[in-house]
Chains A and B, each alone.
Chain A
């Protein structure tokens, strides 16, 4: 038993995290920045941070991840990192030739007091930023929030590139939040089906799920262009998917450029997708096309066909707030019972929202923000579940407790598919159900005694 060190008895912990259910801000900023076309993310800190984020993203996407670093040394840590960053900007534009450099800070550069804005102004004055190129930045100290906060902060910096010309461009901004490249593609497909012209940002599709061409391109085709980002100030509205990942950027556009925003849940599962489609429909002033209604019908169809297998099944969930909120609602809607729900990201309002969504459940629900997987495991030991849904790190618990496990979230280090098959929208809902059913029914087939082992399920 790999986790034999986990005791059943739960004690309060406040000085210590064991088996984290979050990571630090900069990796979120790096992932968001990869959704800008021609962008090289830049880590303003020690070399290790950048190497770790690149390695983790590489393992999750099985794609090359390029990012630069200020390569802090002891000197920079004492005298400030301005010289390093300006030299870095100069080197990056002359060698790698990106359109944009998206700088994020680290605990180190934040604590020594480097001011990104002021350094960028100096780099501009010194002529280090070539004509038509851009440097954007986000403050992402690792000791505040989580990777989700870092993502949100970089997305807000993207929104802050908006320029208002005064003429509306007829487009709707859609901020998808931290979802997979496949999900971003699906969101674009759904918007096109409904007939809404959208600007999606960030957009990692085409960047992190590219084909094998035999060539290495540091800057693949995909990503939201700087021109598109600038025009977000002229949009007719913004749909922000996920309070934690996307709302800050949307509210900034609303208050600064008067682009009205609506914050929705991420469109995982039936009801959250319904609300997203409805918001798109309202934005476009159209009725929902038959094709979309058809996809919805298929999802409801599978839910009904297999509902007896979902009934009262207990689920443990771990992941990021926006995803977990939508997933909890979906699970409740198919009669499953999410009983243990943990996110590593802090925020009491997460717990409140989950409590609301699970208010009518027949079982007691444990929910914790700023929790960890050690706690989740302890909860499971005390109150076993039928299924675990979460990132790859759940595999230890799944193995030790012999519980069916569906991989969903970040990071997934040991399976593929998330790059290519969406879990947002109605089609994504079908895939989620398929994955859940596979896990449950494979287990049933494995465990059923001979006499009740059935061919037809």
Chain B
């Protein structure tokens, strides 16, 4: 059988590696090449995804209309109460604003919005153009904050200042201004903040329920189903539990430095990582609550008793199937690789938009020889990898889905457009079912390329 090798730009060779073929030296965490059909986004995008789930805050995008439109309710970010975050507010900057400055307009917009919607806080997002024309966001926000008596927080998220990573940092800085302004007197010594989950499909509710069963108080969700008042008092929690590749890691670090709140890094995806995360938390509190370890192991046992037989059912059909993973942050990929082992599936390609050298070294350690590891990829590369490795299921986001489908390959959205909660033990079940649904769908039998392959095999 002829193997197609992927079209990789000469300059991109340092960003593609095959496990077992020489030492891994990823030239990652650098700007995309001009002219690349990159799957990456901008600083503003990074800030928006982190802050947007705070549901009782008002999110005002200061810029031309597009920035507000493209981030209007495109992620689940479910709220159990207010829905103010799901509206789209924009100053809709016009040519005359670009020439004369947009500060007056921003002030008028804030004045009107705060009066009408009475939000608990406002986040004002800066965009490319605002960075260029030099509106003093800080000053406008300070004035409005004093006038209205609520926090009005600038988010320095000019798109061109980097990739999503820098946006995460800007979001953390904005949130950090809220931290330390609320009353912490009634917070339990056995308490945490959940950082780095955005409740895309209700995940945070699953994790909160586990913590409740362990007797751990959750002070703030940052930011899924988030509330301003919770963020204000979250420095009173005993521990920060941080998920994800760093969207909120900066906030945890700032809180450790200023308030002495320690943090641990966790993942709620897959069986081991979910259980380990709960055990880490239990371990942290075992001196205060000696019962917590037993409560946690009971919880894990109860959940696994339900889950494991279900997984075995899926595994029968999925054993040996090949998977490609392309996600935003590499941290998610670690958990996914482990999760796929439970389904007997083989990860043949794994990549991320924003992984670090350390991330890629770890990926090389946990993947099988020959696995393709890629940073900041593009559709041509991805499609060539799918063909070369004869992939059965692709895990990715909105831009990857139609590429997988065009090639007659199953797909699971592990990003904005997930419709099922994919975290926790029940999330592992949902994940396995989604993979099962797509991987064994009869539709792939009708795909010419794969039909041909089947015939060759016979």
Contacts and interface: CB of A to CB of B under 8 A. Distances in A.
A23 B65 contact: yes
Contact of A71 (B36, B117, B161, B446): B36
Interface in B24-71: 31-45, 63-71
A48 B159 CA distance: 7
A58 B415 CA distance: 15
A50 B70 CA distance: 11
B95 interface: yes
Contacts of A92: 35
Interface stretch (B148-156, B229-237, B244-252, B402-410): B402-410
A218 B380 contact: yes
Contacts, number: 253
B116 A51 contact: no
19 contacts: A5-B87, A15-B104, A18-B87, A23-B70, A46-B159, A51-B42, A52-B71, A65-B402, A70-B34, A91-B33, A91-B36, A92-B35, A94-B9, A106-B128, A107-B129, A111-B98, A146-B65, A213-B406, A214-B448
A216 B39 CA distance: 16
Contacts of A23: 65-66, 69-70
A111 B162 CA distance: 19
A61 B398 CA distance: 12
A284 B101 CA distance: 53
Nearest to A92: B35
A111 B133 contact: yes
Contacts of B108: 14-16
B131 interface: yes
Interface in B115-164: 116-117, 127-129, 131-133, 159-163
Nearest to A61: B402
A45 B128 contact: yes
A90 B403 CA distance: 25
Contacts of B132: 77, 108, 111-112
Contact of A393 (B72, B94, B131): B72
B68 A20 contact: yes
A69 B31 CA distance: 12
Contacts of B131: 77
Interface string A213-233: 111101000000000000000
Q: At the interface, is chain B mostly helix, strand, loop or mixed?
A: helix
Nearest to B44: A48
Given A48-B41, A55-B70, A214 B94 contact: no
A142 interface: yes
Contacts of A344: 65
A17 B67 CA distance: 12
Interface of B: 7, 9, 11, 31-45, 63-72, 74, 83-84, 86-95, 97-98, 104-106, 108-109, 112-113, 116-117, 127-129, 131-133, 159-163, 379-380, 383, 386, 398-399, 401-403, 405-408, 446-452
Contacts of B88: 18-20
A4 interface: yes
Shortest beta-carbon contacts, A-B, top 10: A48-B42, A214-B449, A24-B66, A88-B35, A91-B35, A15-B108, A52-B70, A142-B64, A216-B383, A46-B159
Interface string A141-171: 1111010000000000000000000000000
A409 B60 CA distance: 26
A212 B326 CA distance: 22
A5 B406 contact: no
Contacts of B104: 15
A84 interface: yes
Interface in A1-34: 2-5, 7, 11, 13-20, 22-24, 26-27
B399 A73 contact: no
Contacts of A308: none
A248 to B, nearest CB: 18
A76 B32 CA distance: 13
A51 B41 contact: yes
B129 A20 contact: no
Interface string A199-219: 000000000001011111010
B116 to A, nearest CB: 7
